[in-house]
Chains A and B, each alone.
Chain A
Amino acid sequence: MSADEQHRPISAGKASPEPAGLQPGDTAASGTGNAPSDAATSEQVGAAAPPPMASPAAPADQESAGSGTVAGAVGLPSLIPEAPASIIPAAAATPASGTFVAAYEHSAVVRFCHWLNAFALLVMMLSGWRIFIAFPSFGPRIPEHKLLNIPESITLGGWLGGALQWHYTFMWVFTATGLIYVGYLIASGEYKTMLFRPRDIPGAWPMVRHYFFFGPKPKQTEAYNPLQKLAYTSIVLCGALSVLTGIVILRPVQLSGLAWLMGGFHLARVWHFVAMCGFVAFIPGHLLMVTLHGWENFMSMVRGWKKNPDYF
Chain B
Amino acid sequence: MQRQFANQEFKRVSRRQILKLTPLVALGAFAIPPSRDYLLDRGVAFTDWAATKLFRTGHLAPTYPDSALTPLNRFPYNSYDTDKPEIDPDWSLEVSGLVRRPGNYSLDDLRKLPKISQNTRHVCIEGWDLVASFAGARLSDFLNLIGADTNARFVYVECADDYYESLDMEAAMHPQSLLCYEMYGKPLQAGHGAPLRFSLPTKIGYKSAKYLTSLKVTNVLTQRSYWGDQGYSTYADI
Interface set of A (CB-CB < 8 Å, partner B): 1, 5-6, 8-10, 56, 60-62, 64-66, 68-71, 74-75, 78, 92, 95-96, 98-104, 108, 111-112, 115-116, 119, 131-132, 134-135, 137, 140-142, 144, 160-162, 164-166, 168-172, 250-256, 265-266, 269, 302-305, 307, 309
Residue of A nearest to B7 (CB): A60
Name B202's contact: one of A70, A103, A253 (CB within 8 Å): A253
A sample of 30 cross-chain residue pairs with beta-carbon separation below 8 angstroms, ordered by A number, consists of A61-B7, A70-B3, A70-B5, A70-B6, A75-B1, A75-B3, A78-B2, A92-B4, A100-B10, A102-B4, A103-B1, A111-B21, A112-B20, A116-B27, A160-B126, A164-B231, A166-B40, A166-B43, A168-B44, A169-B42, A171-B47, A172-B46, A252-B123, A253-B237, A254-B51, A254-B56, A254-B59, A255-B54, A265-B129, A305-B17
Residue of B nearest to A255 (CB): B54
Interface set of B (CB-CB < 8 Å, partner A): 1-10, 13-14, 17-18, 20-21, 23-24, 27, 39-44, 46-47, 51, 54-56, 59, 61-62, 70, 74, 76, 121, 123-130, 201-202, 227, 230-233, 237-238
Name B6's contact: one of A69, A170, A171, A266 (CB within 8 Å): A69
Say yes or no: A165-B128 contact (C-beta < 8 A), given A1-B1, A6-B1.
no
> Do A307 and B10 touch across chains, with their CB atoms under 8 A apart?
yes
Say yes or no: A65-B9 contact (C-beta < 8 A), given A75-B1, A164-B232.
yes
Residue of B nearest to A259 (CB): B62
CB of B33, distance to nearest CB on chain A (Å): 12
Say yes or no: A135-B127 contact (C-beta < 8 A), given A252-B238, A254-B56, A256-B62.
yes
- The complex places the Cα of A165 from the Cα of B42 at a distance, in Å, of 9
> Do B2 and A303 touch across chains, with their CB atoms under 8 A apart?
no
> Do B51 and A251 touch across chains, with their CB atoms under 8 A apart?
yes
Name A165's contact: one of B7, B41, B51, B61 (CB within 8 Å): B41
Residues of chain B with a CB closer than 8 A to A70's CB: 3-6, 9
